[in-house]
Structure 1
Amino acid sequence: MPDDAISQATTGVFRRIFRTLGICLVIVASLLCFPHWLPWMIAAWILWHTLAVMKGSPGYWPLFACTLILAIRLVPRTPAMMLLAVAMVAIAVWRFRSRSRPEITLRYRWLSPVMLAILWGLMFVEYRRSATCNHEVGYDPERPIVCIGDSLTQGMIPDPGYPGQLATMVRPTVINLGASGIATGPAIGILERAMVHRPQAVIIELGGHDFLKFHSRASTKANLVKMITLCRTNDCEPILMEIPRGFMIDPYASLERELAYEFDLQLVDDRWLRHIVLMSPAAPPGMWFKDAQLSDDGIHSNPRGSGVIATFVADALVEVYGDQVLRSRK
């Protein structure tokens, strides 16, 4: 075999290897993507499909891959999200079946990118609005804000948790009712007793220990619904903190977003906890920057981390009540 042929064959093999590794890395990155950035992950796969189509390729596999990732991640089953997923599958199937007839795919090559861009835009608007309180909520500086949750709310002694630092950021009194190891069931009783304080908002950080104690997603959702209903019955606004229960596969995935969409709630998206985990001794890049670590054990916030969580919660309160809830305007 001539040297040029050997060189070309070797180059082709390495090209296929690097392409396969690249695809695997993109898939892993998509599975690791924070829920907050989910629309942009989908946009990346649609862009990949668009570039493939513009080069004359059928471009069906990026759509199949994206749809499979969405199914694994258990994304919220909202109308626009489901419409986009169905469209991606339908377009992928059509392009797969038409792969042997390039004249058809070339003639309509702009059809699928334009259609997917429009559907993605609708999904993006819906996804962002689903995590935001879209109704008016009255503000009363005399009524406190109650924080209910497990040890992530209670704090690790001597740190009083994020509620302690939240109290320095907002005007209303902040009451910390966190209890280490608590699941959603027992927390209902705590919330019922908390109504004696006449809170105007309740920050709910629960569900992590339901997962650790093998409670079902359905029972956890039912308990959270009871807490939301109890808050609304007593004229206070529930605010949910999204709990990530795994980096790639989470059987509770989208639970809090689903509830936020159904009940028009303000959501503190899961970045608040992922920041703590990633900037800890247990994970990179935190393990390389000791002075910037937000946790000392890999999950519970230290005072620096509690300040970060409090900032996320304060931002959520501003979304609901406006800047008037803050001690000083930003």
Structure 2
Amino acid sequence: MDAKLGRRGLITRGAGGFVLCLTGKTLAQEPRPLRLLMLGDSITAAYGLSRGEGLPARLEAALRGKGRPVTVIDAGVSGDTTAGGRARLDWSLAEKPDAVIVALGGNDGLRAIEPRTSRANLAAILDTLKARGIPTMLAGMYAPPNLGADYGREFAGVYEALAREHPEAVFYPFLLEGVAGDSALNQPDGIHPNPRGVDEMVRRLLPAVETLLEKVRPA
């Protein structure tokens, strides 16, 4: 017996001719994977690691392991600052993401850039994403301790203030939570996570990322 799908059901061909078997409903299409863009620096760009060991790839694997069809787009550039991320935002959004994780600022701290400058750049990025209706997560960063307590407080305050000003965004206070300062989870430079460190980041990030994805409106 031959069979093919018609507009209203399954059409079968037997010895007696054609028979239309009404299904009563149309077959559901598989949902397309959500597109999650990570706008970041070397932490996002898998510095010192293979691409498959990097944060975007490992986050995508973890999400898919939980039954979430998500493609994580790596928009990380090693050495990038908040100014660099702001400058290439429109280019990155050409990927048409459904949601964005903003993970910038580490290099601003390493370069002792004025926190008010970092804040202005991040605010511009968040304002653009909000205007376009793209659900966003802001991942915070801390400044290196050698820059002093005052600078550190002001730098951390940038993210806290932006989180208050953008309550629509999911706020994850410190991208390297549980990894920074642990030699077992970092590469020899003490700055970039090793594969174990990336997996720990993913484990901690996952609940916040899932909250972000819940904000995506169905297409």
Instruction: Work out whether the TM-score is over 0.5.
Output: yes
Q: CA deviation at 1:276?
A: 1.7
* Contact 1:276 1:300 (C-alpha < 8 Å) held by counterparts: no
Q: Classify 1:158/1:214 alpha carbon distance in 2 versus 1 (closer, same or farther; 3 Å).
A: closer
State the partner residue of 2:81. Answer: 183
Aligned to 1:301: 193
- State the alpha-carbon separation in 2 of the partners of residues 195 and 278 from structure 1: 33
**1:52 equivalent in structure 2:** none
Give the equivalent residue in structure 2 for 1:321. 213
- Residue 319 (structure 1) shift: 2.3
Name 2:62's counterpart in structure 1.
169
Do the aligned partners of 1:143 and 1:198 also contact (CA within 8 Å) in 2? no
Q: Secondary structure, in 3 states, of the residue corresponding to 2:102?
A: strand
Q: Is the aligned partner of 1:157 residue 2:48?
A: yes
For 1:192-271, list aligned pairs within 5 A. Answer: 192-247=90-145, 249=149, 250=152, 251-264=154-167, 265-270=169-174
* Structure with greater Cα Rg: 1
> Partner of 2:94: helix, strand, or coil?
helix
Q: Please state how far the C-alpha of 1:153 moved relative to its aligned partner.
A: 1.2
CA distance in 2, matches of 1:154, 1:234: 25
Structure 2 unaligned spans of 5+: 1-30, 64-68
- Measured in 1, the distance between the counterparts of 2:187 and 2:110 equals 21
Corresponding residue SS for 1:211: helix
- 2:5 match: none
Greater helix proportion? 1
Contact 1:242 1:269 in 2 (8 A): yes
Asked if the contact 1:159/1:302 (under 8 Å) is kept, the reply is no
- State the Cα deviation string for residues 152-174 of structure 1 (Å, max 9, x = none): 11112333321110010222110
Shift of 1:317: 1.6
Q: 1:204, 1:312 → 2: CA distance?
A: 16
Q: CA deviation at 1:178?
A: 0.7
Deviations 1:245-285 (A, max 9, x none): 14572031221121111111211222x414222321xxxxx
Equivalent residues of 1:159, 1:303 under 8 A apart = no
SS in 1 for 2:48: coil
Deviation digits for residues 56-104 of structure 1 (CA, Å, limit 9, x no counterpart):
xxxxxxxxxxxxxxxxxxxxxxxxxxxxxxxxxxxxxxxxxxxxxxxxx
User: Residue type of the partner of 2:171?
Assistant: L
For structure 1, list consecutive stretches of 5 or more residues without a partner in the other structure. 1-139, 281-292, 325-330
Q: What amino acid does structure 2 have at the position aligned with 1:239?
A: M
CA distance in 2, matches of 1:204, 1:193: 15
Q: Specify the code of the residue in structure 2 equivalent to 1:187.
A: G
Give the strand-richer structure, 1 or 2. Answer: 2
SS at match of 1:145: strand
**Overall identity of the aligned pairs, in %:** 25
C-alpha deviation, 1:141, in angstroms: 5.3
Q: CA RMSD in A?
A: 2.2
Partner Cα distance (2:164, 2:71) in 1: 28
**CA–CA distance in 1 between the matches of 2:209 and 2:135?**
10
Please give the alpha-carbon distance, in whole angstroms, between the structure 2 residues aligned to 1:159 and 1:254. 33
CA gap 1:295/1:162 in 2 versus in 1, 3 angstroms: same
Aligned residues: 172
Give the distance between the partners of 2:195 and 2:105, measured in 1 at CA. 23
* Distance of 1:316 and 1:266 partners within structure 2: 7
Q: Secondary structure at the match of 2:171?
A: strand
Q: Does structure 2 retain, via aligned residues, the 8 Å contact 1:146–1:176? A: yes
Aligned partner of 1:168: which letter? A
Distance 1:246 1:211 in 2: 7
